[in-house]
Amino acid sequence: MTNKVMNLSIVIPVFNEEKTILELLNRVNILKDLCNLEIVVVNDGSTDNTKNIIEKNTKLYSKFIHLEKNSGKGRAVIEGLKKCSCEYVLFQDADLEYDPHDIIMFIDEIKKHNYDLIMGSRFIGNKRTVLHFWHMLGNKFITFLFNFLNNTTFSDIYCCYCMFKKNLIDANKLKCNGWGQQAEILTHVINKKTKLFEIGINYHGRTYDEGKKIRYSDVFNVIYWIVATRIKKIFI
């Protein structure tokens, strides 16, 4: 185990999360006691009061990016990545489905073993996440497809929590603006030399009435980017 201080950038893409953004930022800030923390908030064209709440609480983040129009989660993540200055990067949704307290486990494992990438999983560990059947089926299929094409054994490639070394990816080369963007990033990051790990995390999924945004049709976008990015990586 090493006592090296970890440098971590957390990218928080936000779209119409006025009910949760302040609590989320407060929760993330507890990590300042464990690492050198940079919090990058990207407002993806919110039409509610999200932007005003963020701008009134400047002490809770390091950098703020405002996109005038809603361009998709992928675009918000890309713009956030471009502003990150730390060795490691992690993505954090603003809807409180994922608990920032779990990030402590990621930090501990990085310090112990110097992993290049750690994926969270909603399907391993002592706590089992219950999803809608069609969400589960879609997740299982895209995870299988990704594993098959990239020679990995992840259990949940669409868990929000993905921590990796920033130097493994060039944000300027990322193309996907939608939900397929995480698959694009993972495909670029993973190679024979990448040291990988997976951790079970807590998950508290919202209903669509509560503001859940992903739709069944997004699975097809993800499938496209898994296949397209892998083909590009092989032949280009």
The C-alpha atoms of residue 7 and residue 207 are separated, in whole angstroms, by: 34
pLDDT of res. 150: 94
CA 33 vs CA 2, 110, 142: distances in Å: 16, 16, 36
pLDDT of res. 3: 66
The yes-or-no verdict on residue 156 having pLDDT over 60 is: yes
pLDDT digits (tens, 9 = 90+) for 100-126: 999 999 999 999 999 999 999 998 876
pLDDT of res. 5: 80
pLDDT of res. 127: 62
pLDDT of res. 139: 86
- Structure tokens of 58? 């400047």
Query: What DSSP state is assigned to residue 106?
Result: H
The C-alpha atoms of residue 55 and residue 62 are separated, in whole angstroms, by: 12
With bands split at pLDDT 50, 70 and 90, how would you rate the model's confidence at 193? confident
- Structure tokens of 156? 């949940």
Domain residue ranges in the chain: 7-235
- Within 8 A by CB and 6+ apart from 184, the residues are 74, 174, 175, 176, 225, 229
**What's the pTM value of the predicted model, to 2 decimals?**
0.91
The C-alpha atoms of residue 195 and residue 115 are separated, in whole angstroms, by: 5
pLDDT of res. 19: 95
- Sign, CA torsion 223/14/132/200: positive
pLDDT digits (tens, 9 = 90+) for 164-181: 999 999 999 999 998 888
- Fold held by 7-235: Spore Coat Polysaccharide Biosynthesis Protein SpsA; Chain A (3.90.550)
pLDDT digits (tens, 9 = 90+) for 58-106: 999 999 999 999 999 999 999 999 999 999 999 999 999 999 999 999 9
DSSP result, 108-174: HHHHHH--SEEEEESSSSS-PPP--HHHHHHHHHHHHHHHHHHT---S-TT-S-EEEEGGG--GGG-
pLDDT digits (tens, 9 = 90+) for 2-56: 567 899 999 999 999 999 999 999 999 999 999 999 999 999 999 999 999 999 9
Angle between helices 133-150 and 181-189 (to 10 degrees): 30
The C-alpha atoms of residue 137 and residue 158 are separated, in whole angstroms, by: 12
Task: Indicate the range of 41-45, 64-68, 145-149, 225-229 predicted with least confidence.
Answer: 225-229
What average pLDDT is seen over the chain? 90
The yes-or-no verdict on residue 132 having pLDDT over 80 is: no
